Chains A and B, each alone.
Chain A
Amino acid sequence: GDSVTQTEGQVALSEEDFLTIHCNYSASGYPTLFWYVQYPGEGPQLLFRASRDKEKGSSRGFEATYDKGTTSFHLRKASVQESDSAVYYCALSDSTGGNNKLTFGQGTVLSVIP
Chain B
Amino acid sequence: EAAVTQSPRSKVAVTGGKVTLSCHQTNNHDYMYWYRQDTGHGLRLIHYSYVADSTEKGDIPDGYKASRPSQENFSLILELASLSQTAVYFCASSRDRLYEQYFGPGTRLTVL
**A residues at B contact (CB < 8 Å):** 9, 32, 34, 41-46, 49, 51, 89, 93, 95, 99-107
Contact = CB atoms under 8 A, between A and B. Distances in A.
- Interface of A (DSSP majority class): loop
Contact of B104 (A43, A46, A93, A95): A43
Interface string B26-60: 00000101000000111111001010000010110
B7 interface: no
Contacts of B11: none
Most chain A Cβ neighbours within 10 Å, of B101, B105, B106: B101
Contact of B43 (A32, A41, A44, A49): A44
Nearest to B41: A106
A101 B41 contact: no
Given A43-B105, A100-B48, A32 B98 contact: yes
B6 to A, nearest CB: 9
Nearest to B56: A100
B101 A106 contact: no
A46 B94 CA distance: 12
A70 to B, nearest CB: 22
